Structure 1
Amino acid sequence: MAPIDRIGTDSRAVPPLEAGTWWYAAVAAEAPGSFNGRVRKRLRNAALAAVLLLSVVYAGLVLTATGQRWENAATAGRLTDGTLSAEQIAGRVPHHFALYSLSLALLLIAVVGVLRRRYAPTVAALGSVIGSVALAEVLQRFVLHRPDLAGAPGHLLHGGFPSGHTTLALSVTFALALVVPYRLRVLVVTVGALWATFLGAYTLAIGWHRPGDLIGAELLSLVIVCGTVALLARKGKARRAPRGRAPLRHVVMTVPVVLGALAGLGAGLLLLPRSVGAPLPVDPATARLAYESGQLLAAGTGLAAALLLLALLRHVDLDESAVPPRRAPAGPEPDAEITGPFPAEQDHEIS
């Protein structure tokens, strides 16, 4: 039997699939070498790499005595921070901060998506935020436990891996990148990444979480958003954005993020060997080095994750109609050229 998109048994051409429908878009996304297929592949690979790195961070900082001693020193060193200490500003943060932030974030994403009539990306963005926060809570409460391998006192073992607050902040930023106009994506991700970095620094300064919890939350947020975009591309919702030189404003906005990521990761890794493996009690100088190293590494990882997402979504726009709509012909003609999501083939006779 001949393929349904080529020639029927009566030697007459079958009408092509009507473009613009969800079925057409999904089939086109699966065509070899299609734009949606390439987007899905690279987002899937990025998500798998982030999962691997998340596992390495958890194993190194939570499941080893050396990693726990470094985080214990970083947690003790927070008391030397005179700008974000718990005694100064802990009372300014409402106890229901996470709940209020989540409600406002979901409302903002929904309003932006509905006003732009981007319903599929909006649903996916809302699901990514809820899924990220829920998964973070499940992981830290029931899966990724922290055994005490270094004999630390109880007040140094607060918080779970990964951080729910940092997951919320960064997942909201990444979700907004899916629903805002393409020309505003760099601005939204840049501002949101800086805000999420500050929130993570705050939770570390007041002792809610440890450095590894922040890094794990940032990687978890990246995994979820990459998986979400890969799913949208699987459904044919991605299209190629206009190519061209990056506007000057985008370059200016990303410079602080690039410099922050390089400085955070570089300086944090430079200070790390000087504070690793210090048993309790640690001297104040070593504790302060561990705290500064943890802050720098967490900030650098979060900013690097934001830059990676911008790079992965470069020239990728998310729209309801990834395949441009076309009107199907009123009636098939024997010699009409057949178009569709499949490569052309040579006609052949049916025996």
Structure 2
Amino acid sequence: MRDRDKVVTAGWLLLLGAACVAGFLALVRFFVRTEHGQKIDTIALTGNSIGQARIDDLVDTLLNAMSVVSLAIAAATLAFIALIRGRRGLALMVLLLIAGANVTTQLAKAAITRPNLGVDVERAAAGNSLPSGHTAVAASVAIALVLVLPPRIRALGAFLAAGYTALAGVATMSAGWHRPSDAMAALLVVGGWTAAVGLLLLLLQRRTDHASGREAHPASAVLLVAAGVALLLVAAVAMELTEQVRDFDPDELGRRRLFAAYAGGAAGIGGTAFLLVGALLALVHRLVPQRAPRGPDAPGQFERPLFGDREPTTVVLRAQPPPTARTRPPAPVFTPPTDTPTIRAGAAEPPTVRLGATDPPTVRLNPDDPSPPSPPR
């Protein structure tokens, strides 16, 4: 991926991380440290009594499924999916995200003290409950799922992840385990770790990796972000309505006021979850880009990945040159040597026959022969 694209992506991740840290500190300062914030949180939590008996079984089933064992199984499964895709670095980052977010949640819960300001005396003895551990478990697994899924089903996975995270956060409030601010703070912790892991993924990329726009899901990301903003606006309106009755005892409020406060808390949790997942979906194609094929880039060589976009295992097809007609070599030409001796079969002149009285006839077969002729017998 180009250096300019990396810088832009890193800037968005830093902005996401800074927003999560600032939001977390703002929640702690207002909803934990001030009487004003504690009252609004308490009214919203008291509203969970409306219709609680109807959803108790569903809520208990959802929350009881979140345990250390189930978290370990989910983390191992997600890391295995990354390994199948040939992404060893991504597998390590997924484990780091899940472990870091949940450990940070528990450390923050132990480090933050909730002052007893005379609000919600019954729950004050339990101490601080911000951030929510169950919400952190659900959100970290959901974010990791979006990171490891192949691009073809990533958008669908993002919607499921956002819905599951929001449902888990609202369930903690419905069960009376956590206030709305507790669940929202847990989501912001996971968001901070998402930004940190995203920066590490950028550092682990190769120079040949390519962030393809075809793997992006801009419409789905915009839809998730828009839904998150809309839910946060609903939460703001509900908070303004609750502000009008914050000095009243929650037990003295009517069902409409309690339901408005409860619905506002649920909208705040859902809006934060949808915003977080939508922001990740907008950047994930740059955090987990396409891998360039290894080996020499010989012409006529093509690589087809197996298992979606798995990079190490490839099938190599080599283009063969077209067959050419073979030419028959020329026949050898025989050239006689120049020093071959010449065989003479006979005389150059015909034999001469002489007839005379005194001399017998002489037959010369070879006139060049100097020896005297022999007389006839």
Q: Distance in 2 between matches of 1:217 and 1:237?
A: 33
CA contact (8 A) 1:84 1:202 kept: no
Return the offset for 1:113: 1.1
* Aligned residue among 3, 25, 34 for 1:55: 25
The match for 1:149 is 117
Greater Rg over alpha carbons, structure: 2
Relative to 1, partners in 2 of residues 1:200 and 1:129: Cα closer, same or farther, differing over 3 Å? same
Match runs of 1:31-110 below 5 Å: 33-82=3-52, 86=56, 88-89=57-58, 92=61, 95=64, 97-110=66-79
Q: How many residues align?
A: 291
Amino acid of the residue matched to residue 269 of structure 1? A
Return the offset for 1:289: 2.0
Secondary structure at the aligned position of 1:316 is classed as helix
Secondary structure at the aligned position of 1:275 is classed as helix
The match for 1:196 is 165
The match for 1:297 is 268
Return the offset for 1:317: 4.8
CA contact (8 A) 1:118 1:319 kept: no
CA contact (8 A) 2:105 2:131 kept: yes
Q: Distance in 1 between matches of 2:49 and 2:176?
A: 9
Amino acid of the residue matched to residue 134 of structure 1? V
Relative to 1, partners in 2 of residues 1:156 and 1:85: Cα closer, same or farther, differing over 3 Å? farther
TM-score by length of 2: 0.69
* Aligned residue among 238, 241, 249 for 1:274: 241
Query: Per-residue displacement from partner, 1:106-138 (whole Å, max 9, x unpaired)?
Result: 122122011111000110111100110111011
Return the offset for 1:207: 0.7
CA contact (8 A) 2:151 2:215 kept: no
Amino acid of the residue matched to residue 107 of structure 1? A
Query: Per-residue displacement from partner, 1:296-322 (whole Å, max 9, x unpaired)?
Result: 111111111111111233x4152595x
Amino acid of the residue matched to residue 114 of structure 2? R
Relative to 1, partners in 2 of residues 1:150 and 1:298: Cα closer, same or farther, differing over 3 Å? farther
CA contact (8 A) 1:36 1:234 kept: no
Match runs of 1:325-344 below 5 Å: none
Percent of residue pairs bearing the same amino acid type: 23
Secondary structure at the aligned position of 2:213 is classed as coil
The match for 1:25 is none
RMSD of Structure 2 on Structure 1 (CA): 2.9
Secondary structure at the aligned position of 1:97 is classed as coil
Q: Distance in 2 between matches of 1:61 and 1:90?
A: 25
Relative to 1, partners in 2 of residues 1:204 and 1:117: Cα closer, same or farther, differing over 3 Å? same
Amino acid of the residue matched to residue 234 of structure 1? L
Secondary structure at the aligned position of 1:109 is classed as helix
Return the offset for 1:219: 1.1
Amino acid of the residue matched to residue 120 of structure 1? G
CA contact (8 A) 1:186 1:310 kept: yes
Q: Distance in 2 between matches of 1:256 and 1:41?
A: 22
Secondary structure at the aligned position of 1:149 is classed as coil
Amino acid of the residue matched to residue 15 of structure 2? N
Query: Per-residue displacement from partner, 1:51-85 (whole Å, max 9, x unpaired)?
Result: 11211122121111111001111111111234665
Relative to 1, partners in 2 of residues 1:164 and 1:84: Cα closer, same or farther, differing over 3 Å? farther
Unaligned 5+ runs, structure 1: 1-27, 329-351
Secondary structure at the aligned position of 1:147 is classed as coil
CA contact (8 A) 1:203 1:209 kept: yes
Match runs of 1:1-351 below 5 Å: 33-82=3-52, 86=56, 88-89=57-58, 92=61, 95=64, 97-141=66-110, 143-155=111-123, 160-236=129-205, 239-244=209-214, 251=219, 257-258=224-225, 260-276=227-243, 277-281=246-250, 282-285=252-255, 286-313=257-284, 315-318=285-288
Amino acid of the residue matched to residue 264 of structure 1? L
CA contact (8 A) 2:131 2:185 kept: yes
Amino acid of the residue matched to residue 292 of structure 1? A
Return the offset for 1:327: 5.4
CA contact (8 A) 1:237 1:318 kept: no
Amino acid of the residue matched to residue 270 of structure 2? A
Q: Distance in 1 between matches of 2:32 and 2:273?
A: 19
Amino acid of the residue matched to residue 52 of structure 1? A
Amino acid of the residue matched to residue 310 of structure 1? L
CA contact (8 A) 1:121 1:319 kept: no
Query: Per-residue displacement from partner, 1:193-242 (whole Å, max 9, x unpaired)?
Result: 10111111111101111100111111111110111010121233584422
Q: Which has the higher contact order (CA 8 A, sep 6+)?
A: 1
Q: Distance in 2 between matches of 1:222 and 1:257?
A: 15
Q: Distance in 2 between matches of 1:206 and 1:156?
A: 17
Secondary structure at the aligned position of 2:247 is classed as coil
Relative to 1, partners in 2 of residues 1:164 and 1:176: Cα closer, same or farther, differing over 3 Å? same
Q: Distance in 2 between matches of 1:183 and 1:232?
A: 20
Amino acid of the residue matched to residue 260 of structure 2? L
Amino acid of the residue matched to residue 266 of structure 2? Q
Relative to 1, partners in 2 of residues 1:131 and 1:196: Cα closer, same or farther, differing over 3 Å? same
TM-score by length of 1: 0.73
